[in-house]
């Protein structure tokens, strides 16, 4: 009889695990809180071992075909003039703009389509988990209770079900808010990621996409927590007040805050002492979020899903598989969570002096010679996405 698993969360990590485990013969159910695959989010990078997972799934061409079109990164001044330019990546891992870069929503849809052998339940969520050692009885907000051999929570950094098994789990807050939205593209826009450090802890950036729109982001440092729990109108009011005196593209971004695409998050990292309790495991951002600042969130989710699937397929007891998954993946996670010194505050300068120092640093980093000698370009632009060797697992590759 096939073994059964419930995966909670249908973004990146959940569907990747679902795809591999279905292929390994498991009966897979995925539950997602929203009533659809969420489309929000901006450019995410698929690097190093994450890219290897995509390759092993036979999805590299599909992801490449959905490339955002971004060619590299420019830091700009308050008039939008480039003061430092970085080339995009040309291999599996390097570059502020990764060679394999895709809108998060499009990637989630590709992974969902690729894992259709799993049963998907949208618009529901777990309310209780009872692990009796031989299986897990799960209660849902809408659906009837069900029993599974194992449960995996892939619900992102702010996972709620995590508290059912690890009430002691704490998030390391980075003191940074990030707002993402799509805005209309104009004739002045380019295919570069254009970044304006605005001073007073604020950053504005514009990125091209493959939809004919521009992906804007507004980020700011703050000691105040909880703004992400405000409603849309209050979040928009905070952003309007925070970026009111910023020039360049700020007025046109603020003018589109109500266009329905806004996604606002409080950036943090999950640094948990363990990633499973009994027959329930955590996966992706729910277990080891490294934050968008790391450029590694998606790569960790993909590598984690692949390793977890391989270990589950190879062990009779999921608890043994969970222990091995953690052992294989920890070194990669530990490296990914080590952000550049002073990040994210250093990229969000507050005073004029800090702003000037930051501009000098990106100018130096963008110089072919000085960037290499100083190590600045590599430190900021190349995450440690190849820090482990992915094991080979005997799960049949997709047709
Ligand atoms: C809407 C959205 C936009 C994002 N935008 C960006 C971006 O622009 N840049 C970036 O670097 N990263 C972004 N991320 C984060 C990025 O997707 C992750 O860092 C990374 O890909 C790891 O993915 P994950 O699958 O572990 O978690 P996530 O991508 O966070 O996905 C978690 C999934 O679980 C679902 N979920 C949450 N709670 C429950 C629950 N109780 N029951 C059932 N389902 C639940 C969520 O709706 C979501 O679909 C975004 C995430 C989301 C959800």
90 assigned to some structural domain: no
CB of 12 shorter than 6 A to ligand 1: yes
Find the mean pLDDT for residues 154-170.
96
Domain annotation covers residue 110: yes
Q: Residues 157-161: what's their mean pLDDT?
A: 97
| Backbone Cα Rg of the chain | 21
Whether residue 205 is contained in a domain is answered as: no
The average pLDDT across 89-106 equals 76
Q: Does the C-beta of 213 come closer than 6 Å to ligand 1? A: no
Pick the closest to residue 43 from 386, 340, 387, 298 (CA basis).
298
Q: Is the CB of 160 under 6 A from ligand 1?
A: yes
- The answer on pLDDT for 374 being more than 80 is no
User: Does the CA dihedral 251-177-293-367 come out positive or negative?
Assistant: positive
Q: Is the CB of 50 under 6 A from ligand 1?
A: no
Question: Residue 309: pLDDT band by 50, 70, 90 thresholds?
Answer: very high
360 CA → ligand 1 middle, Å: 35
Q: Is residue 275 part of a domain?
A: yes
Residue 19 covered by a domain: yes
State the pLDDT at residue 40.
86
Query: pLDDT grade, residue 55 (50/70/90)?
Result: very high
Neighbouring C-alpha atoms within 13 Å toward the C-beta of 99 = 12
Q: Which domain holds residue 332?
A: 4-43+103-171+269-336
Say yes or no: CB of residue 161 within 6 Å of ligand 1: yes
Cα 308 to middle of ligand 1, angstroms? 18
Distances (CA, A) of 257 to 25, 236, 247, 262, 354: 45, 6, 16, 6, 29
Helices 48-56 & 297-314 angle (0-180, nearest 10): 50
Instruction: Look at the block and give the residue holding tokens 């977890």.
Output: 308
- pLDDT at residue 365, as a whole number: 83
pTM attached to this predicted model = 0.93
| Tally of CB atoms within 10 A around 234 | 11
Has residue 380 got a pLDDT over 70? Answer: no
| pLDDT over 90, % of the chain | 81
Q: How far is the CA of 266 from the centre of ligand 1 (A)?
A: 13
> What is the 357 CA–ligand 1 centroid distance (Å)?
34
Query: Burial level of 315, CB count in 10 A (0-12/13-18/19+)?
Result: middle
What pLDDT band is residue 90 in, cutting at 50, 70 and 90?
A: low
Least confident of 2-6, 72-76, 263-267, 379-383: 379-383
Contacts 24+ apart (CB under 8 A), 246-249: 246/78, 246/196, 246/198, 246/202, 246/204, 247/78, 247/79, 248/76, 248/78, 248/79, 248/80, 248/196, 248/204, 249/80, 249/194, 249/196, 249/204, 249/206, 249/216
Length of the chain: 399
| Helix orientation angle between 13-23 and 104-114, rounded to the nearest 10 degrees | 20
Angle at 262 between CA 258 and CA 265, to 5 degrees: 140
Residue 382 confidence (pLDDT): 64
Give the residue whose CA is nearest to atom 1 of ligand 1.
Answer: 40
Cβ neighbours, 10 Å, residue 24:
19
Query: Is residue 376 scored above 60 in pLDDT?
Result: no
User: How much distance in Å is there from the Cα of 156 to the middle of ligand 1?
Assistant: 5
Q: Would residue 206 count as lying in a domain?
A: no
| Lookup result for tokens 């969902």 | 112
| 299 Cβ below 6 A of ligand 1 | no
Give the mutation target among 18, 29, 70, 155 for probing the ligand 1 site: most ligand atoms within 8 A of CB: 155
Q: Is 49 helix (H, G, I), strand (E, B) or coil?
A: helix
pLDDT at res. 134: 97
pLDDT digit string, tens, across residues 99-150:
788 999 999 999 999 999 999 999 999 999 999 999 999 999 999 999 999 9
**Alpha-carbon gap, residue 350 to 358, rounded angstroms:** 10
DSSP 67: B
371 lines ligand 1 (CB under 6 A): no
Judge whether 105 and 113 are in contact, CB under 8 Å: no
> How high is the pLDDT of residue 209?
95
Kindly report, residue by residue over 226-236, the tens digit of the pLDDT. Answer: 999 999 999 99
Ligand 1 contacts CB of residue 15 (under 6 A): no
Number of domain units in the chain = 1
Residue range 143-163: mean pLDDT, rounded: 98
Cα–Cα distance measured from residue 340 to residue 365, given in angstroms and rounded to the nearest whole number: 14
Q: How far is the CA of 296 from the centre of ligand 1 (A)?
A: 13
CB 185 within 8 A of CB 341: no
What is the full DSSP assignment across 222-290? Answer: -S---GGGS-HHHHHHHHHHHTTT--TTHHHHHTTTTSS--EEEEEEEE--S-SEETTEEE-THHHH--
Q: Decide whether any atom of ligand 1 lies within 6 Å of the 8 Cβ.
A: yes
For the chain, the average pLDDT equals 92
Q: Is residue 126 part of a domain?
A: yes
Assign 95 a pLDDT band (cuts: 50, 70, 90).
Answer: low
Q: Provide the pLDDT confidence category of residue 399 given band limits of 50, 70 and 90.
A: low
User: What's the confidence (pLDDT) of residue 387?
Assistant: 72
**pLDDT of res. 221:** 97
3-state secondary structure of 11: coil
Domain assignment of residue 218, yes or no: no
Res. 98: pLDDT tops 90: no
Substitution site in 9, 143, 306, 385 for ligand 1 pocket (most atoms within 8 Å of beta carbon): 9
- Count other C-beta atoms under 10 Å from residue 186's C-beta: 9
Q: Per-residue confidence at 93, pLDDT binned at 50, 70, 90?
A: low
* Residue predicted with more confidence, 118 or 383: 118
CATH number, residue 293: 3.50.50.60
- Predicted local confidence at residue 100, as pLDDT: 82
What does the pLDDT read at residue 364? 86
With a cut of 60, say whether residue 331 has pLDDT above it: yes
Kindly state if the Cβ of 293 falls inside 6 Å of ligand 1.
no
């Amino acid at each position: 009889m096939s073994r059964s698993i419930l995966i909670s969360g249908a973004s990146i990590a959940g569907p990747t695990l679902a795809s591999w485990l279905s292929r390994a013969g498991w009966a897979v159910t995925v539950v997602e809180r929203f009533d659809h695959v969420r489309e929000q989010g901006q450019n995410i990078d698929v690097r190093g071992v994450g890219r290897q997972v995509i390759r092993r799934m036979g999805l590299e061409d599909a992801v490449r075909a959905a490339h955002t079109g971004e060619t590299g990164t420019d830091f700009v001044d308050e008039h939008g003039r480039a003061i430092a330019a970085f080339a995009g990546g040309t291999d599996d891992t390097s570059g502020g703009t990764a060679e394999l870069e895709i809108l998060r929503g499009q990637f989630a849809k590709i992974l969902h389509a690729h894992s259709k052998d799993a049963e998907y339940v949208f618009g529901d969520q777990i309310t209780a988990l009872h692990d009796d050692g031989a299986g897990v009885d799960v209660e849902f907000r809408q659906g009837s209770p069900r029993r599974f051999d194992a449960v995996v929570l892939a619900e992102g950094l702010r996972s709620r079900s995590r508290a059912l098994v690890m009430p002691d789990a704490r998030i390391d807050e980075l003191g940074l808010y990030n707002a993402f939205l799509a805005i209309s593209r104009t004739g002045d826009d380019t295919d570069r990621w254009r970044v304006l450090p605005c001073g007073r802890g604020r950053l504005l950036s514009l990125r091209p996409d493959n939809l004919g729109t521009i992906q804007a982001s507004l980020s700011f440092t703050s000691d105040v927590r909880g703004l992400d729990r405000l409603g849309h109108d209050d979040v928009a009011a905070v952003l309007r007040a925070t970026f009111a005196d910023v020039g360049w593209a700020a007025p046109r971004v603020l003018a589109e805050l109500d266009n329905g695409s806004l996604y606002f998050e409080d950036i943090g990292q999950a640094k948990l002492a363990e990633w499973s309790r009994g027959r329930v495991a955590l996966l992706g951002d729910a277990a080891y979020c490294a934050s968008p600042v790391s450029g590694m969130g998606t790569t960790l989710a993909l590598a984690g899903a692949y390793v977890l699937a391989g270990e589950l397929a190879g062990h009779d007891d999921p608890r043994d598989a969970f222990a091995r998954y953690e052992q294989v993946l920890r070194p990669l996670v530990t490296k990914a969570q080590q952000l550049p010194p002073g990040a994210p505050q250093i990229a969000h300068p507050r005073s004029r002096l800090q702003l000037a120092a930051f501009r000098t640093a990106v100018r130096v980093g963008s110089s072919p010679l000085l960037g290499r000698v100083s190590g600045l370009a590599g430190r900021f632009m190349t995450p440690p996405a190849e820090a482990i060797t992915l094991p080979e697992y005997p799960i049949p590759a997709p047709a």
